[in-house]
Amino acid sequence: MITPPAAEPVDLDRMKAHCRVEGTDEDDLIPVYIAAARAAVEAYTRRRLVTQQLKLLCPGFGGCIELPCAPVQTVDRITYLDADGDEQELDEALWRLVRSGGPVRIVPADGATWPITSGGVDAVGVEFTAGYGNASAVPADLVIAVLLIAGQFYENREDAVAGLSVIPLPMGARDLMKPHIFWV
């Protein structure tokens, strides 16, 4: 991640109301649970909730580059290590975005070919902006999933163990997130 979200999809007051917390004793702790819950929703769905800037590293260009999450707002910069190992920025005229049919893909522009890279696991870097926008743009069911997960974190501050396995995400949260899973 290059730039984290400027705000969480749930603010402190809303979370305190959800957990029925009065007073300010927990005001430093609750935002940590909110951030962890947002991260759990993002990991489960492969969607970014609030706008953030990310960087994907690839070993090369291949036929296309698929971005691993949604919704993608913009591709901001593509860099690569040329055959000599020097970093270059790929001119925007040499690539285009394909937004239909699944993940956003970066492909060569018509008549263009990908440059030769030096190889290696991080020969190509794609900086992009993803997320629904600000907190008010996040779908309501994903906001509720954040509330449910953060509420469970708040109520169960230690590892919650049933038998030998850790208790999973709240069932209601999983059900709310399922329609939003981004299949890559």
Say whether 55 sits in a helix, a strand or coil: strand
Q: Does residue 162 or residue 153 have the better pLDDT? A: 153
Preceding amide of 71 cis, omega within 30: yes
Q: How far apart are CA 151 and CA 166, in angstroms?
A: 16
At 77, list the tokens: 């910069």
pLDDT-derived band of residue 2, with 50, 70 and 90 as boundaries?
Answer: confident
The answer to whether residue 5 sits within a structural domain is: no
CATH number at residue 34: 1.10.3230.30
Report pTM.
0.86
How confident is the model over 92-146, as pLDDT tens digits?
A: 999 999 988 778 999 999 999 999 998 788 999 999 999 999 999 999 999 999 9
Overall residue count recorded for the chain in this entry: 184
Provide the pLDDT for residue 35. Answer: 95
Q: Do residues 27 and 92 lie in contact, with contact meaning Cβ atoms separated by under 8 Å?
A: no
List residues bridging with 130 in a β-sheet.
Answer: 52, 72
The answer to whether residue 7 sits within a structural domain is: no
Question: Are 68 and 105 found together in one domain?
Answer: yes
Question: Are 37 and 67 found together in one domain?
Answer: no
C-alpha of 28 from chain center? 24
Provide the pLDDT for residue 9. Answer: 96
Tell me what the mean pLDDT of segment 39-49 comes to. Answer: 94
Which of 112, 130, 148 terminates a domain? The answer is 130
Number of domains in the chain: 2
Q: What are the b/e assignments for 85-102, b being 16+ CB within 10 Å? A: eeeeebeeeebeeeeeee
Assign 3-class secondary structure to 18-33. HHCCCCCCCCCCHHHH
Residue in this structure with the two tokens 């979200």, named with its chain if needed: 5
Question: Are 84 and 116 found together in one domain?
Answer: yes
Provide the pLDDT for residue 63. Answer: 86
Which residue, among 131, 128, 78, 136, has the nearest Cα to 108 in the 3D structure?
78
Question: Are 103 and 166 found together in one domain?
Answer: no
Provide the pLDDT for residue 159. Answer: 61
In the DSSP assignment, the letter for residue 92 is G
The answer to whether residue 4 sits within a structural domain is: no
Q: How far apart are CA 31 and CA 146, in angstroms?
A: 12
Helix, strand, coil distribution of the chain in percent, nearest 5: 30, 25, 45
CB atoms within 10 A of CB 141: 14
Tell me what the mean pLDDT of segment 21-31 comes to. Answer: 93
pLDDT-derived band of residue 182, with 50, 70 and 90 as boundaries?
Answer: confident
Provide the pLDDT for residue 89. Answer: 97
Q: In the chain, how many H helices and how many E strands?
A: 4, 9
Q: Do residues 177 and 155 lie in contact, with contact meaning Cβ atoms separated by under 8 Å?
A: no
How confident is the model over 47-82, as pLDDT tens digits?
A: 999 999 999 999 999 889 999 999 999 999 999 999
